[in-house]
Amino acid sequence: MAQHRVELSQPVSDEVRKTTCYMCACRCGIDVHLKDGKIRYIEGNRDHPVNRGVLCAKGSAGIMQHYAPARLDSPMLRTGPRGSGEFRKISWDEALALATEWMGEVRTRDPKKLAFFTGRDQSQSLTSFWAQQFGTPNYAAHGGFCSVNMAAAGIMTIGGAFWEFGAPDWDRTKLFVMFGVAEDHDSNPIKIGISKLKKRGARFVSVNPVRTGYSAVANNWIGVRPGTDGLLILAIVHELLKARRIDVDYLVRYSNAPWLVIDAPGTAEHGLFARDADGKPLIFETVTERAVPAHTKGARPALSGRFRMADGRPVVPSFQLLADEYLDPKHAPEAVADEIGIDVQVIRGLAAEIGRVAFDEAIEIDQPWTDVHGERHQSFVGRPVSFHAMRGISAHSNGFQTARALHMLQVLIGAIDCPGGFRYEPPYPKPLHAHPRPHGKAEHFGSNQPLAGPHLGFPLGPEDLLIDGEGRPARIDKAFSWEAPVSAHGLMHMVIANAHAGDPYPVDLLFLYMANMAWNSSMNTAGTIRMLEAKDEETGDYRIPKIIYSDAYSSEMVAYADLVLPDTTYLERHDCISLLDRPISEPDSVNDAIRWPVVEPDREVRGFQSVLLDLGARLGLSGFVDHRGKPLYADYADYIVRHERRPGIGPLAGFRGAEGDKTGRGAANPDQLRRYIENGSFFSVHIPEEALFFKHANAAYQDFAVKMGFFDKPQPVTFQLYSEELQKFRLSAEGLREPAALDIHRERILAAFTPLPLWYQPLEEGAVDDGEFPYHAITQRPMAMYHSWGSMNAWLRQIHTKNRLYVPGEICDEHGLVDDDWVWLTSHHGRIKVQIARSATANRDTIWTWNAIGKRGGAWALDKDSPEATKGFLLNHLIHELLPPKGDGMRWSNSDPVTGQAAWYDLRVRIEKAEPGEVSEPHFAAQTADKDVPAELRYGQEWAK
């Protein structure tokens, strides 16, 4: 019989359009295949520096994302009460006129009464610029609830951070240790990298209370108790010091280990660096026995000892303090293993491996280079031990110091930006002082004027805080106040609560973009919903009078907006993945990218960035209108091409100059977007070979960075093992420095702002009774879902249609629980009733679930009885934005006391068996959904062959 004939060589599509994925912040290059004007297939762009052709589940599900019935299709004005989901569709003209009226009025009266907060968008460079021109001090993006601990600790210690700003040297590392990562922003590069190193036989160790995903394939899994990584890291430091496994040469060259710290307790100088008249830090020169400026040629600095300066002040090299601290037996493995919940030998083994690989398996790349002090080196010496960490460390209230400890560990073994180590991704490294100071004090803003400078940045000391004369916060989220002095990304999770409470003041207009604050990105979700619905008893107005929100889909938050500005999908708009923003560079290359409308919107939707430019122009904000008040930019595409932040520096670094042949710096090129599109929608420039490593001190790299326009003069980084900035806050807390910390904050600041990283107990753990709440509860990101926005995707939602609470076998056995049982999970703040599943692959005290699978009925164009709404759930109901009241009735925000990072993973719970149920609790009334949804999908049937 003849064999069935199969059409083997059908063309895939009519046309391929290359753009950039958007289902997460990884921003992979994609090839969008179009057939008959519809999306046929999306695959990874093989040339793209980020993903090299691969694509994750979310990326491949772009078809369903783009055609989801949950897409918004028109601007809307609320008609029913908040939360009801009742709206009237209005025209864009009406919507923009209304928004302009509301905003213009606030801007004239009191610009701080507009609070503009954005979610995980990738256009912070525009949104922050807009907010600055508008003149409100109240702007931030999502970093405060996300991973500011990681960013702040990194920048303050090594001038760069994990997050998406650096990566392990996947091709060379021989030992890779990953702390608390489930997925991260670098999702595809991490997967590609793990695969590479496993193939090479390198060891991969995962430190994580839960063993799934990456941890599942790790050679070794260290199932720590949540919040104890700091103990583990410092015990490793202790072991390495004891074993003399530290890179002394590297420390002297690149860190502040030799810098002299003034030892004058009780004075305003105590613990600060001794400096010369020019402000240069001093070291002690052991040959001439004098304090000389750091990096004085030929000087042999002391790392230990106690000295006196010429003026008699006692000083000590910061490394002496470091060694004294960490050699103390209280940091020994046997002292901390129980608290971490692991075996002493595991800590010793890990420390020994780190030391062995770093020093006995050092690698060398024959490539001469010159450091910033003019010294020529024959090769790059690599300590092939690398680390990566994310929210498992940073989403704890001790996360800042834990992340600092991890950076310190890397510096001690000489493994920052060397072959085989952690490597910076340009434009990082960038030293702390090269970042701006925060702006938002009363003198920084006023009626109808721009803010005096950028909102976000790093205070170098208490004098840079945004507080008034009484020490009260200037910002609505209380960022850069005594509550969270180094909150470099703001505290998005506190905005609604503070605005509702009118503390420090009420706002009139809350302007939100791409953040599902009425659901999964809030702590205390039910409370947040009540706050959004709360009315002033006297006036009958909402406590937060006006809310403007831009979303692309009918999320839970949409129902709480008064005015909805519908965004396009990622395939319908221009976007700019800019070096001024959250860049996509890799350690070897500087990269940026764009999105462009590969399909035309078929609804009344507009790209939010274009809308923002339009609003800026309507409001007459400088930077958005010319001197005659005419709009400067036609739309976002036009802005991307023509906007200049500094002369010759615009949103995109590639194809600049009239001919498109300039990189980094150069005049605007009207043809720039076309050139990007031809190039696959990205631009990549390789870093010169000589500049590839030791970027923090590499003269060739610094020159390259200046040429590219990252900075206008070289900005080398000296690693800050000992942080003088933190010490300044302690001095304020001791009342020794102006402004002095408010009394109520002193204790917290003294404990948390230690200039050398130390571990302290997570705040919630300290505030609740261990016996009453014996277990930890945490969430993990599922790889196939992006927060709340996978559930409207018909393909992705089938993978995670509902979530279970994973309970370790020991706890199941103790409480007589079996799979599918219902339980009450209770925290100091609330309780939820959910279904469990047994698990053997988690720390025995750690209960966990997938993040953001639970949905509110009716949202996302899903049936109100969808499993997401009936069986799915959020842990957020258990997490309060405030810690339990202390003796004096004060309640601190549930955040890291240094950075204000939301402490999602400090949660403590107890578990009890519950009566079987039908729906998870709390269960909320469904939001009205009037979406037409098909009963069956046969996507692509018309192409069936």
Partner 1 sequence: MTCLPSNPTPKKLGLVIDLDVCVGCHACVVSCKEWNTGGYGAALSDQDPYGADVSGTFLNRIHSFEVLPEGGEVAAERGEARLIHFPKSCLHCEDAPCVTVCPTGASYKRADDGIVLVDEDMCIGCGLCAWACPYGAREMDLAAGVMKKCTLCIDRIYNETIEEVDRVPSCVRTCPTNARHFGDLADPNSAVSIMVAERGGMDLMPEQGTKPVNKYLPPRPRLPLAAAAAGREDTSGATGFFAWLDGMLDRI
Partner 2 sequence: MHPALSIIVFTTASGLGYGLAAALGLGLLNPALVSTKLAHFVALALIGGGLLSSTLHLGNPQRAWRALSQWRSSWLSREGVMAIVTFVPLCISAYAAIFHSRYLLLPGLLGVAGAGVTVYCTSMIYASLKSVQAWHTPLTPLCYLLFAGAGGSLLGLLFAAAGGGDTPILALLSIAFLGAAWTAKLAWRRNMENMDPLSTPESATGLGNLGRVRLFERPHINDNYLTSEMGFRVARKHADKLAKISLIAGGIVPAVLVLGVLASGASGLGVALAALAVLSHAVGMLTERWLFFAEARHAVMNYYGG
Ligand X SMILES: Nc1nc2c(c(=O)[nH]1)N[C@H]1C(S)=C(S)[C@@H](COP(=O)(O)OP(=O)(O)OC[C@H]3O[C@@H](n4cnc5c(=O)[nH]c(N)nc54)[C@H](O)[C@@H]3O)O[C@H]1N2
Q: Residues binding ligand X: what is the number (CB under 6 A)?
A: 59
Q: Smallest distance, Å, CB 180 to partner 2? A: 20
Stretch that binds Mo ion, among 126-134, 138-146, 406-414, 672-680 (CB under 5 A): 138-146
Beta bridge partners of 535: 542
Question: Which three-class secondary structure state does DSSP give residue 594?
Answer: strand
Q: State the nearest-atom distance from the C-beta of 777 to ligand X, in Å.
A: 9
User: Could you tell me the smallest distance in angstroms from the CB atom of residue 873 to ligand SF4?
Assistant: 24
Task: Return the number of the residue (695 or 797) whose C-beta is nearest partner 1.
Answer: 797
State how far the Cα of 372 lies from the Cα of 392, in Å rounded to an integer: 35
> Which helix or strand (DSSP H or E) is residue 93 part of?
helix 92-109
Residue 57 or 750: which CB sits closer to partner 2? 57
Residues in the chain: 945
CB of 752 to partner 1, least distance (A): 27
Question: By CB under 8 A, is residue 865 in contact with partner 1?
Answer: yes
Burial class for 42, CB neighbours closer than 10 Å (0-12, 13-18, 19+): buried
Helix (H, G, I), strand (E, B) or coil at 944: coil
> Binding residues for ligand SF4, per CB under 6 A?
21, 23-24, 26-28, 51, 55-56, 58-59, 187-188
Task: Look at the alpha carbons of 614, 618, 623, 627 in this order and tell me if their dihedral is positive or negative.
Answer: positive
Residues 563-602 as x/- pattern, contact with ligand X by CB under 6 A: ----x--x--------------------------------
Give the Cα separation of 76 and 87 in Å (integer).
6
DSSP readout, 761-778?
Answer: --HHHHHS-TTTS-EEEE
Do residues 791 and 797 make contact, with C-beta atoms less than 8 angstroms apart?
A: yes
Q: Return the ∠ at Cα 764 (arms to 762 and 770), rounded to 5°.
A: 100
329 phi, psi to nearest 5 deg: -60, -15
| Phi-psi sector, 230: left (phi>0), alpha (psi -120 to 50), beta | alpha
Report the residue from 146, 262, 653, 836 that binds Mo ion according to the rule CB under 5 A: 146
For partner 2, the closer of residues 104 and 809 by Cβ is 809
- In the list ligand X, partner 1, Mo ion, none, the entry touching 551 (Cβ below 5 to 8 angstroms by class) is ligand X
Cα 806 to Cα 142: distance, rounded to the nearest angstrom? 28
Quote the CA–CA distance of 566 and 549 in Å, as a whole number.
Answer: 8
Closest separation between CB of residue 187 and ligand SF4, Å? 4
Residue type, 567: D
Nearer to partner 1, 191 or 493 (CB): 191
Q: Minimum distance from CB of 556 to ligand X (Å)?
A: 7
Q: CB under 8 Å to 741, separation ≥6 — which residues?
A: 462, 471, 482, 729, 732, 733, 735, 749
Q: Cβ 120 to Mo ion, closest distance in Å? A: 6
The CA-atom distances, in angstroms, between 205 and each of 171, 354, 874 are 16, 11, 30
Binding-site partner at residue 146 among Mo ion, partner 2, partner 1, none, CB < 5 to 8 Å by type: Mo ion
Q: What does 801 bind: Mo ion, ligand X, partner 2, none (CB cut-off 5 to 8 Å by kind)? A: partner 2
- Which of Mo ion, ligand SF4, ligand X, none does residue 567 bind to, with CB < 5 to 8 Å depending on kind? ligand X
Contacted entry of ligand SF4, ligand X, Mo ion, none for residue 179, CB cut-off 5 to 8 Å set by kind: ligand X
Provide the minimum distance between the beta carbon of 28 and ligand SF4 in the complex, in angstroms, as a whole number: 3
Each residue 184-203 as x (binds partner 1 by CB under 8 A) or -, in order, gives ---xx--xx-xx--xx---x
827 binding ligand X? (CB under 6 A)? no
Interaction partner, residue 862 (partner 1, ligand X, ligand SF4, none; CB < 5-8 Å by kind): partner 1
Hey, how many other C-beta atoms are within 10 angstroms of the C-beta on 886? Answer: 11
Question: b or e along 384-422 (b: 16 or more beta carbons within 10 Å of the residue's beta carbon)?
Answer: bbbbbbbbbbbbbbbbbbbbbbbbbbbbbbbbbbbbbbb
Three-state secondary structure string covering 266-288: CCCCCCCECECCCCCEEEEECCC
Taking residues 143 to 162 in sequence order and writing x for each that binds ligand X by CB under 6 A, - otherwise, the string is --xxx---------------
Binding of Mo ion by 181 (CB under 5 A): no
For residue 276, which of 289, 265, 292 has the smallest C-alpha distance?
292
Measured CA to CA, the distance from residue 931 to residue 464 in angstroms comes to 50
Residue among 480, 555, 542 at smallest CA distance from 516: 555
330 CB contacts (<8 Å, ≥6 apart)?
Answer: none
User: Using the 8-state DSSP alphabet, how is residue 691 labeled?
Assistant: G
| Out of 870, 893, 899, 901, the residue judged to bind partner 1 by CB under 8 A | 870
802 binds, among partner 1, ligand SF4, partner 2, none (CB under 5 to 8 A by kind): partner 2
Check residue 67 for interaction with partner 1 (CB under 8 A): no
CB-wise, 45 or 255, nearer to ligand SF4?
A: 45
515 binds ligand X per the rule CB under 6 A: yes
Report, in Å, the least distance between residue 475 CB and ligand X. 19
> Please, which of residues 570-609 interact with Mo ion by CB under 5 A?
none
Our finding on whether 298 is near partner 1 (CB under 8 A) is: no
Q: How far is the CB of 804 from ligand SF4 (least distance, A)?
A: 20
203-242 binders of partner 1 (CB under 8 A): 203, 205, 211-217, 219-224, 239, 241-242
Q: CB–CB of 413/927 below 8 Å?
A: no
Stretch that binds ligand X, among 130-138, 341-349, 464-472, 547-555 (CB under 6 A): 547-555
Show the DSSP H helices in 719-855 as ranges: 724-733, 743-752, 763-767, 796-799, 809-815
Three-state secondary structure of 543-557: CCCEEEEEECECCHH
Q: CB under 8 Å to 647, separation ≥6 — which residues?
A: none
229 binds, among ligand SF4, partner 1, ligand X, none (CB under 5 to 8 A by kind): ligand X
Contacts with ligand X in 222-251 (CB under 6 A)?
Answer: 224, 226-227, 229
- Piece of 176-184, 336-344, 494-502, 911-919 that binds ligand X (CB under 6 A): 176-184
CA-CA distance, 731 to 122, in Å (whole number)?
38
| Nearer to partner 2 among residue 785 and residue 907 (C-beta) | 785
- Give the number of other CB atoms < 10 A from CB of residue 474: 25
CA distance 558 to 713: 45
Residues 551 to 570: which contact ligand X by CB under 6 A? Answer: 551-553, 555, 557, 567, 570
Residue 521 found at the interface with ligand X (CB under 6 A): yes
> Does 193 engage in binding with ligand X (CB under 6 A)?
no
**Nearer of residues 58 and 831 to ligand SF4, judged by Cβ:** 58
Max Cα distance, the chain (Å)? 102
Q: Shortest gap between Cβ of 64 and partner 2 (angstroms)? A: 14
In the complex, the smallest distance separating the C-beta of residue 865 from partner 2, rounded to whole angstroms, is: 13
859 binds Mo ion (CB under 5 A): no
Cβ atoms of 204 and 293 within 8 Å: the answer is: no
The binding track of 767-796 with respect to ligand X, each residue x by CB under 6 A or -, is: -----------xxxx-x-xxxxx-------
How far apart are CB 346 and partner 2 at their closest, in Å? 20
Please, which of residues 122-141 interact with ligand X by CB under 6 A? none
Interacting residues with partner 2 (CB under 8 A): 798-802, 837, 839-841, 867
Chain residues in the site for Mo ion (CB under 5 A): 146
* Chain positions contacting ligand X, by CB under 6 A: 24, 119-120, 142, 145-147, 179-185, 187, 207-210, 224, 226-227, 229, 390-393, 396, 513-516, 520-521, 550-553, 555, 557, 567, 570, 608, 778-781, 783, 785-789, 851-852, 875-876, 904-905
